[in-house]
Amino acid sequence: MAFIGTINAETRKWLGNNGPAFDGRQVYVGCSGAFTVEQLLTRYAPKAKLWGNDVSLYSGVLGAYLAGQTFRLEVREEKFAWLSPYLADEEAKAATVMVLFEMLKYEKANNLFKQRHWMHYLNTFDKFHQGTVAKLQERKKETRIESYTSRDIFDLLDEIPQGAVVIAFLPTYAGGYERMFKRLEEIFDWDTPGYGLIDEDRKKRILTKMLERDYLYLDDHEWKGLPMVAVVRKARMKPVYIYSNMTALHRGVMKQQRHSEFVPFARLGDEDE
């Protein structure tokens, strides 16, 4: 069972190579997603203290598990009442949400392919769940976070210590998170956080707050006036622009060719992706 995320391989390599710039710092990740940033900095900035945050159910249950916190999760939709035995603890809850998220791609069984996949998930859910628990246990060994919160990043920024680093890869279009996780929200009841949709205006207001401290900001379009430290260009995909005021970061351009090329400093090996 895969961990969903939006940070591509070249960007992960760049961040891993820049791990020392974050070592020993307090680092707050404003939009944790699948906790790729936290996992990378656990490995490449071992003395950093990391905090995770997001507003989605998917990230919330995963973050609570990784941080050793409790997470209220109950089945809301009667059609899925059979999932209740799979919500015994935070590990089980996280695995259930991850499997179901993949499974729901085939819920609207409007063709034979989807019908077969949907029935396969229903008939072998327990096996999928066990396999995902095993992967979660490995992920927990590789991810160190002090705590996790489900907060609007705009409000959270007011409470982050001035000397900390903030990292954010905000949703690239308004309502994207909501559409991605809508079905999960209908099926489960949990302590849903209040937050504002991140449109361009709200993104600018968030950035204004981020600029008050050390920051690392990723986006799929250019921002005039922000110091760009790296850019990732991949065929048939939007570029990823990386901005920061941290002078210790290496500058670079990553391009996807036949093999990933990392300029101008040494790459991490493929096994480090």
Q: Report the pLDDT averaged over residues 91-117.
A: 95
Q: Per-residue confidence at 91, pLDDT binned at 50, 70, 90?
A: very high
> Is 114 within a domain?
yes
Domain range for 91: 9-272
Q: Report the pLDDT averaged over residues 1-18.
A: 78
Q: Report the pLDDT averaged over residues 206-225.
A: 95
What are the tokens at 253? 């351009």
> Is 213 within a domain?
yes
> Is 49 within a domain?
yes
> Is 135 within a domain?
yes
Return the H-helix or E-strand segment holding 39.
helix 36-44
Domain count, the chain: 1
pLDDT > 90: what percent of the chain? 78
Q: Report the pLDDT averaged over residues 240-262.
A: 78
Q: Per-residue confidence at 175, pLDDT binned at 50, 70, 90?
A: low
* pLDDT digits 0-9 by tens, 39-81: 999 999 999 999 999 999 999 999 999 999 999 999 999 999 9
> Is 214 within a domain?
yes
Q: What is the CATH number of the domain that holds 67?
A: 3.40.50
Q: Per-residue confidence at 174, pLDDT binned at 50, 70, 90?
A: low
> Is 224 within a domain?
yes
* Biggest CA pair distance of the chain: 56
* pLDDT digits 0-9 by tens, 195-213: 998 888 999 999 999 999 9
What are the tokens at 143? 């991810």
> Is 238 within a domain?
yes
**Predicted pLDDT of residue 264:** 46
**Predicted pLDDT of residue 235:** 75
Q: Report the pLDDT averaged over residues 175-192.
A: 85
- Strands ordered across the beta sheet of 214-219: 147-149, 49-53, 26-29, 165-169, 214-219, 240-244, 228-233, 252-256, 260-263
Inter-axis angle of helices 112-123 and 90-103, nearest 10:
160
Q: Report the pLDDT averaged over residues 224-250.
A: 92
